[in-house]
Amino acid sequence: MRCDTIWRNARLATMAGAGLGVVEDGVVAAIDGRIAYAGSADDAPVEAAETIDCGGRWITPGLIDCHTHLVHAGDRAHEFELRLAGASYEEVARAGGGIVSTMRATRSANEAYLVASALPRLDALIAEGVTTVEVKSGYGLTTDDETRMLRAARALGRERDVRIATTFLGAHALPPEYAGDSDGYVDHVCTDMLPAIARAGLADAVDAFCEGIGFTVEQTERVFVAAAKHGLPVKLHAEQLSNLNGAALAARYGALSADHLEHLDDAGVAAMARAGTVATLLPGAYYFTRETKLPPVDALRAAGVPIAVATDCNPGTSPLTSILLAMNMAATCFRLTVEECLRGVTANAARALGLARETGTLEPGKACDLAIWEVERPAELVYRIGFNPLHQRIRNGR
Ligand code: DI6
Ligand code: FE
């Protein structure tokens, strides 16, 4: 087999099968941007146009950030100062803070600005070996503004060599023009916004914020029915601040993932296990909002629910653009193991995006997306705080 590129003299964490799928003296080979071989040097191909000696460095799959609000205008640093001065969430909202303040900034930003302001955040993730990023809408809250957000998200995938998965999150917050009429807004999301965005092919999935300060489980179900009608998979911000049984609803609709989950109960865990819905944990939001309720990690483990970890990069509750720090927080705050953290930003993150056949492990047939690390052991990727040991990022074999 003649390959385009061979990476040899490496230690592989393939994330395939049990554990980290470690191969001590490993080789990865690529043909036409796809993995042709990943395994022991003993059985590896040797002929290639280019052969790279990795000097014993570790190779993981390219990392995946499966939950971000990367596209948005403005920031909420002033709100952060108000909160530090003791203001409550409600007082901040009354002072014009909260999601609606980001909505106002985003509505007045054109697509070029939305792209330009997201690029530094995307570059921070890329610098840590991220090769796939999920980007949600949810700060426009009108058809035109949500469309512009998703066009900007798609544009990020043209501006940088990165895979972008887009998610329509029209049911993120109630816009001022629908004040007091959340059912009317959900009608607008389901009958106008979602069909327009589906027709334009701008969303790969649909999400909602099922929460007391968001939308009810009944309203969320209407969004899910509309998504199914347009052939779009769903995911859900669920049980972040209370238990509305959103995760169980998401599981009933075969959701790719349910996210946050601090208030998830045993029935929700069981429903997710039955459906194969991924539990995406977002330690950045837990940390930044100084939450105290931990997600039921032991119950998720016992039920075999796949766990993903993501930054939830957003200006209000998780202004975090480091997937490595997200892993450290998941281990330090939620007590995930190193293996669970690494699987959470690779194989399980791919599952949360419906991309498990394309990326997330070092296996033949998948995109040759790699991260090559200057570490003695994979645990250093989770253990260190604010240190980036990336040696090289490979995307589609280049
Ligand atoms: N949950 C969150 O923590 C963010 N959205 C959501 O559904 C908050 C987004 C923001 O405050 O801008
Ligand atoms: Fe989020």
Backbone angles phi, psi at 314, to 5 degrees: -150, 155
For residue 302, give every residue at least 6 positions away whose Cβ sits within 8 Å of its Cβ, in sequence order, or none: none
pLDDT for 273: 98
Centre a 10 Å sphere on the Cβ of residue 182 and count the other Cβ atoms it contains. Answer: 16
Closest CA relative to residue 60, chosen from 337, 344, 354: 344
Tell me the pLDDT tens digit for each residue of 344-379: 999 999 999 999 999 999 999 999 999 999 999 999
Tell me the pLDDT tens digit for each residue of 263-299: 999 999 999 999 999 999 999 999 999 999 999 999 9
Residue nearest to atom 6 of ligand 1 (CA): 209
Closest CA relative to residue 235, chosen from 272, 198, 183: 272
* CA 222 from centroid of its chain's CA atoms: 24
Question: Cβ(314) to ligand 1 under 6 A?
Answer: yes
Q: Cα angle vertex 276, ends 274, 281, to 5°?
A: 115
Give the Cα separation of 157 and 164 in Å (integer).
Answer: 6
Q: How far is the CA of 235 from the centre of ligand 1 (A)?
A: 15
How far is it between the farthest Cα atoms of the chain?
67
Atom of ligand 1 nearest to the CA of 99: 12
Give the Cα separation of 278 and 250 in Å (integer).
Answer: 10
Give the Cα separation of 18 and 188 in Å (integer).
Answer: 46
Question: Cβ(246) to ligand 1 under 6 A?
Answer: no
Q: How far is the CA of 26 from the centre of ligand 1 (A)?
A: 42
Tell me the pLDDT tens digit for each residue of 121-147: 999 999 999 999 999 999 999 999 999
Tell me the pLDDT tens digit for each residue of 23-80: 999 999 999 999 999 999 999 999 999 999 999 999 999 999 999 999 999 999 999 9
pLDDT for 95: 74
Handedness of CA 292, 298, 303, 306 (dihedral sign): positive
